[in-house]
Chains A and B, each alone.
Chain A
Amino acid sequence: MTTSHENEKEKMETHVKPTSLASVAQAHNVKVPGTRALGTGLETRGVHAWFGKHHALADISLDFAAGTVTALIGPSGCGKSTYIRTINRMHEFIPGAAMAGEVLLDGKDVYAPGTDVTKIRLQIGMVFQKPNPFPSMTIGENVLSGLKLAQIKAENKDDLLEECLERAGLWSEVKDRLGAHGGSLSGGQQQRLCIARALAVRPQVLLMDEPCSALDPGSTLRIEETIRHLSDSMTIIIVTHNMQQAARVSDYTAFFLSDGGPGQMIEVAPTSEIFSRPQDPRTENYVTGRFG
């Protein structure tokens, strides 16, 4: 057991370059990528992405430890959203989209031939930039819609409904009107409804693509609290343009940048490190607001 665990760790270290990262992480008392603190994790190896002939993303290798929040920051058009969409295979919906490299969930390549992509998306949930509840469904139906869509049978739907809304920080606001339509909620409530909906299928990983960019500061704060609570039980990757938000919610931050060509990852480190002592001058310029 221990040997295989260590073997796995070694294997991982040969692929990414976590030696320095791990030591830095230990110094900062945050969970180390690849240590599998809460079971298993997610890893990408040399991911590239194309839209037709346009090379959008180059060689992204990142390791996400279970139970951590990783923020992806960088200027618009640097491939952050493209990157997270390769993780749950939403990238391939765009006509002409292509990718290279591997995305490993529990050590299994999600792009392996014969993979049931719907199962992958159940394990890797996603929350989008714009709140997108199903308007023809009630609040309750929205939360449980994932079960219906993926044809999963749930034992006790009422408990699951309450649990998911509670974890998304919405229960107290909607518990008396679960039969109302999803569209009757405010923008911030709709986004938390979408988070609750993503939680109902019990994903291991939750991808969030600028989840607060369309929301007011109060709603943003509520969602950030929600993210902190959720990180106890799942791996979260959040794309954000708001550097204060990255600083508030994430354990790790990865900085992406494009010099006109494909987007690349410049630097990844524990969040406090990125904001206080960035290794790369480009990161420093970005986080101090000198460009981007």
Chain B
Amino acid sequence: MTFTAIKTPTPREISTEPRRSDRVFRAIVTFGGISSLVILGLIALFLGYRGFEVLRQEGIGFITHSDWSISTDDAGNVLESHFGLAAMLVGTILCSLIAVVIALPVSVFCALFLNFYAPNWLKKILVTIIDMMAAFPSILFGIWGFLVLMPSVEYWAKLLHRYFGFIPIFDMQVPVYTRSPFVAGVVLSIMIIPIITSVSREIFSQAPLDRIQAAYALGATRWAMIKAVVIPHGRSGVIGGAMLGLGRAMGETVAVFTVLNIVFQINWQMLLGAGGNVASLIILKFGDASPYEIKALMAAGLVLFLLTLIVNGLANLIVKTTGKSGR
């Protein structure tokens, strides 16, 4: 038996006439969806517009040089100015990376504990506390870091320096341990633990039950099951959470400002009490800045904004490329 030859028709156009209520609702949600994009775009435009003069004058030097000086005559006219963010950018990245390196393992273990080990009553309490931590005012973390953490971190910093000093980032020439990027990183890590924990917990709890049962039915211990099923399933989500935390750490202002010594010199030595941070720079200079310096600070804001955007873009890319396996 053979199939008869088929004359291929052209596909029909398929359309539908939406109801009025559907169109109204569609308009409302579209407005909500677009508004965040519009707001973000307007902020970027505002920063670019206000900072344009400085950006044009400094050129690429705005992100490759590390000085911040302005001199004006008595009438307030600018005589000479040098603005460069290199040290601040390096400091921002350094502090945020320290924060993520500390926070990521703590958060992942915390999420695993909450999902697979904690008794129900403890889980409820801990989840509430962790959610509360996310909403805690950052200035309080800063003050706590300044008064409580700084004296004790000094001890850990000395230990790290003594035993790991051969690694460049743990090295230091001048023994100034307070107000270092390390202290700022530790404070930031505490602030981003709730975010990474809550994202990881969510993704771990979605690990498919049939595979969990398959692992147990094969004689897996709980830890072996977690390694074989839960972690492969959650890997991309955890990376996404870490990137979210990184973004939060880079934008954090007050807490870092409280514990970090801002110095206009590129410094990769995390234990040395000299760091940089774009957001903290803005808060440091904003109070008594001349109109022209304000423009420079707006430009700095734009750079930070773009940096955060790039990190989030990278995060999406990583989540997409690692997302396929394990699902």
- By a beta-carbon cutoff of 8 Å, the part of chain A in contact with chain B is 88, 90, 93, 118-119, 121-122, 125-126, 128, 130, 132-136, 145-146, 148-151, 194, 197-198, 201
Contacts and interface: CB of A to CB of B under 8 A. Distances in A.
Interface of B: 208, 210-211, 213-221, 224-225, 228-229, 232-233, 325-327
Contacts of B326: 135-136
Contacts of B219: 118-119, 121-122, 146, 149-150, 201
A142 to B, nearest CB: 10
Contacts of B218: 121-122, 125, 145-146, 149-150, 197-198, 201
Nearest to B208: A132
A134 B210 contact: no
Given A134-B211, A135-B326, A121 B232 contact: no
Contacts of B211: 132, 134-135
Contacts of A197: 214, 218
Interface centre among B221, B233, B327 (most CB of A within 10 A): B221
Contacts of B325: 135-136
Contact of B216 (A90, A133, A194): A90
Contacts of A134: 211, 214-215, 228-229, 232
Interface centre among A132, A146, A201 (most CB of B within 10 A): A132
A145 B214 CA distance: 10
Q: Which 3 A-B pairs have the closest CB atoms?
A: A149-B220, A122-B219, A150-B219
7 contacts: A90-B216, A118-B221, A135-B211, A136-B232, A146-B218, A150-B221, A150-B224
Contacts of A93: 213, 216
Given A90-B213, A125-B218, A198-B217, 11 more contacts: A126-B217, A128-B214, A132-B210, A132-B211, A135-B211, A135-B327, A136-B232, A136-B233, A149-B221, A194-B214, A197-B218
Nearest to B326: A136
A145 B233 CA distance: 16
Given A135-B326, A149-B224, A90 B229 contact: no
A150 B220 contact: yes
Interface centre among A125, A133, A150 (most CB of B within 10 A): A150
Contacts of B224: 148-151
Contacts of A198: 217-218
A50 B229 CA distance: 28
A94 to B, nearest CB: 10
